Structure 1
Amino acid sequence: MVTDQKFDSIRPYRDHEMKEVFEQLMKEESFKRLLLYLFPQIPIDSFTNKLLSLKTIKEFQIEIIYPFIKDIIKKTTHGLSCEGLDKLDPSKSYIFISNHRDIVLDSAFLNILLHDHSHDTCEIAIGDNLLIYPWITKLVKLNKSFIVKRNLPARQMLMSSKLLSEYIRYDITERNSSIWIAQREGRSKDGDDRTQSSLLKMLDLSGNRNFEESFKELQIVPIAISYEYDPCDYLKAHEALLKKENPDYKKTQEDDLKHMGAGIKGRKGRVHFKVGTPIKNELKPLAALDKNEQISGLAELIDEQIHNNYKLWPGNFIAADIINANNNFKNKYTKEDVVTFHEYIDEHISRLDKSADAVFIKNTLMEMYANPVKNFYKELSRI
């Protein structure tokens, strides 16, 4: 029988481990500084006592994480909305596979919505490249995150991927706990959302040889996440410029922290989650194909739901008309929308170094906002 012990190196903490972990965190000065920054109105001793009084992970999420994320929603968005969760059975577990916009908030917002719709919160896949300090690892594992190991040698990567796959299947089928994982490694930098075949191959490592049954029991549910404004858009565009100038460019850990901060604090406009339907019956036609075709076919099924369910905002249509040098979508926005969108884009570009190629940055931003429109109408034409 498989148990938690097999997955100790990657799994989240459980209730019985909380007290010891909190005691360890209280010895970390950088963690204390974080508490003072996030909760300046609460004396550190009071907050420490509060944390140590918590008995379950659920209490930690509801009493600490939930109000914190709710405050972010109130201060940085014009509302968080959702469709589709009411059509899922709260007693069942799912793998939520979504497009990826924000390092922290995609999964945090999803857990708010799950809780508000009477579902258990899900466990969250997080890359170890973001775990810059040991205390960050402890903190995210307290918030139901499990670790995805990156940049390993080939043999170790295969072993790590197999363990990860086994853990996800164990979580779904034995612990009845839902999972959130992004459709690709890292966020989409250009708004062109595509599911990586490597993700699906990893999930398949723990299955039996029957492709249909293996993926059916995982209950994959695609989610389309749509931010009216991506607070990290200018940083992503600048990263694209740096890669254009130097193909070997890679973000530093400090860059990741900057992106996290910008994502949490930056304005987002309206945010919408459209939860799709479990992929089950659609798997049958794929069964007769070879393995690579099965994987690519499943990726297309996930992408189809994400593209079709993506909530398009006025800025998306404005950017599409700019990219295509026409006004095909002029009925989708007003003159005021155009002014607001251009003011937003110009303000974000102004945050970058004056030496940056402003034309490239602006074109990249337009593509970023226009690509969801292109994908939506491409999928629509197939119906």
Structure 2
Amino acid sequence: MDQFHDIRPYNDSEVAEVLINLVNTPDFINTIIGFRFAKWPTFLRAPLAFCVKQALKRQISNISNVHEFQTRVAGYMERMIKTTTTNVEYRGIDKLDKKIGYLFLSNHRDIAMDPAFVNYGLYSAGLNTVRIAIGDNLLRRPFVSDLMRLNKSFIVKRSANGIREMMAAFGQLSAYISDSLMKEQSNIWIAQKEGRAKDGLDQTDPAIIKMFFMSQKKLKTPFSEAMANLKIVPVSISYEYDPCAFDKAQELHQKSTTGSYEKAEFEDIDSIKNGIVGQKGKVVVTFGDVIKDGFETPEEFVAEVDRQIITNYAIQPTNEAAFALQQGLPSTDSAFSSYLERCPEELQETVLSMYANPLIQQQKYLNK
């Protein structure tokens, strides 16, 4: 019996059927039309749907496994990089061994782009692509779940109700991650905490580390040894410009002024879209060092992850410009000043903090 059937990515043998089902899903076709042809008149929706469906049928006819699907995704990724970034730089990727499965524990700024940039770097370097942890809160539309699982995503059951159901979900997740790494030598990507760091402060949630430990704890493996077994590599992802910055600032501003924020039903899907098509400037992905044994508690381990993520974070001109403006000094980046002028006035201080915080956080570590 497949104990991970409800959370794991699709296997090669399942790819063809899932793709056929996707092409025959009206919600999927209509979403593509809304994404690519939003300005076209509505009376053209029916013929557009037919054309999109036929084009997709031709494209999927040559895809029979996960690798072929990801090769097609890589083509879209290359196009996205050319149109929405000025440069993408990878640091530390040369330290990785192709024969080892790593757990990439990453800071989290963009729902889709964070693992996508990590994946593209590994793919380009001839390393195995990652299995991506994704919360079930993003999978309210079935076709989104199918697309993610085709792209080697596995599901984190954040919507589990009650302590017993939650512990069962965490146990299953922990076992899946351990099996992927230790038995199959597959790479894993997971964010250092639930949700994006909207304020620009990167901090690891100890609950993530405790979840990693669960499956090995049952086998009486000591904490330090268990963590070393997982070959955890902290990853720092830095965007010169965050396409979702103003939306994040609106959420933070509303929470600070009213005490709460209610997400729209498909707000996360819109964030994914905006993250893909929005301008990012320079993007830097830095792979840290494998964390070996010597850490006896989750809190000690978290401290090491945070140290690597924060000190390895590539400071961008936008971070320096935001910090200068916070200090009442002239901006060090005229492009950032123009960018800030497009932001609603009531959100500008929040946006400044969002960009300045990575630099402030790094300086605190370096000055210890």
Tell me if TM exceeds 0.5: yes
Q: Distance in 1 between matches of 2:264 and 2:211?
A: 26
- 2:74 maps to 66
Q: Which 5+ residue runs of structure 1 have no aligned equivalent?
A: 288-293, 351-357
| Other structure's SS at 2:133 match | strand
One-letter identity of the residue aligned with 2:166: M
Q: Distance in 1 between matches of 2:284 and 2:35?
A: 25
Most deviating of 271-280 and 239-248? 239-248
- 1:119 maps to 127
- 2:198 maps to 189
Q: Contact 1:22–1:52 (CA<8 Å) still a contact in 2?
A: no
- 1:290 maps to none
Q: Contact 1:83–1:275 (CA<8 Å) still a contact in 2?
A: yes
* Post-superposition CA distance 1:11-35 (Å, at most 9, x none): 0000001111112212201222345
Q: Contact 1:126–1:147 (CA<8 Å) still a contact in 2?
A: yes
One-letter identity of the residue aligned with 1:312: I
One-letter identity of the residue aligned with 2:232: I
Matched, 1:309 2:312: yes
Selected match of 2:338 from 338, 343, 355: 343
Aligned counterparts, 1:227-238, within 5 A: 227-238=239-250
Give the deviation of 1:221 after TM superposition.
Answer: 0.2
- 1:354 maps to none
Selected match of 1:173 from 159, 179, 182: 182
Q: Distance in 1 between matches of 2:304 and 2:329?
A: 31
- 2:158 maps to 150
Give the deviation of 1:324 after TM superposition.
Answer: 3.3
> How many residues of Structure 1 are paired with residues of Structure 2 in the alignment?
352
Q: Distance in 2 between matches of 1:69 and 1:37?
A: 20
Q: Contact 1:132–1:253 (CA<8 Å) still a contact in 2?
A: no
Alignment TM-score, normalising by the size of structure 2: 0.91
- 2:363 maps to 377
- 1:164 maps to 173
Q: Distance in 1 between matches of 2:206 and 2:361?
A: 18
Q: Distance in 2 between matches of 1:39 and 1:371?
A: 35
| Other structure's SS at 2:283 match | strand
Give the deviation of 1:379 after TM superposition.
Answer: 1.5
- 1:366 maps to 352
| Other structure's SS at 2:215 match | coil
Selected match of 1:33 from 30, 35, 49: 30
* Post-superposition CA distance 1:61-88 (Å, at most 9, x none): 00x2111111111111101110111111
Aligned counterparts, 1:1-383, within 5 A: 5-36=2-33, 44-62=53-71, 64-152=72-160, 153-208=162-217, 209-280=221-292, 283-284=293-294, 286-287=295-296, 294-325=297-328, 333=332, 337=333, 339-347=334-342, 349-350=343-344, 358-359=345-346, 361-382=347-368
Change (3 A) 1:15 1:39: farther
Give the deviation of 1:142 after TM superposition.
Answer: 0.4
Change (3 A) 1:372 1:228: same
* Post-superposition CA distance 1:300-347 (Å, at most 9, x none): 1011111111111111112112223457xx8xx4xxx2x211111121
Give the deviation of 1:175 after TM superposition.
Answer: 1.3
| Other structure's SS at 2:100 match | coil
One-letter identity of the residue aligned with 1:237: A
Change (3 A) 1:156 1:262: same
Change (3 A) 1:135 1:161: same
Give the deviation of 1:55 after TM superposition.
Answer: 1.8
One-letter identity of the residue aligned with 2:195: G
Alignment TM-score, normalising by the size of structure 1: 0.88
Give the deviation of 1:125 after TM superposition.
Answer: 0.5
The alignment-based identity, stated in percent, is 36
Q: Distance in 2 between matches of 1:141 and 1:262?
A: 21
CA RMSD of aligned residues (A): 1.9
Q: Contact 2:234–2:287 (CA<8 Å) still a contact in 1?
A: yes
Give the deviation of 1:37 after TM superposition.
Answer: 6.0
Give the deviation of 1:38 after TM superposition.
Answer: 6.5
One-letter identity of the residue aligned with 2:3: K
Give the deviation of 1:36 after TM superposition.
Answer: 5.0
Q: Contact 2:23–2:53 (CA<8 Å) still a contact in 1?
A: no
* Post-superposition CA distance 1:174-218 (Å, at most 9, x none): 111100000010000100100001111111111134011100010
Q: Contact 1:35–1:44 (CA<8 Å) still a contact in 2?
A: no
* Post-superposition CA distance 1:132-153 (Å, at most 9, x none): 2111111110000000111322
Q: Which 5+ residue runs of structure 2 have no aligned equivalent?
A: 38-47
Q: Distance in 2 between matches of 1:29 and 1:43?
A: 11
Q: Contact 1:61–1:143 (CA<8 Å) still a contact in 2?
A: yes
One-letter identity of the residue aligned with 1:308: T
Q: Distance in 2 between matches of 1:68 and 1:37?
A: 18
Change (3 A) 1:90 1:221: same
One-letter identity of the residue aligned with 1:305: Q
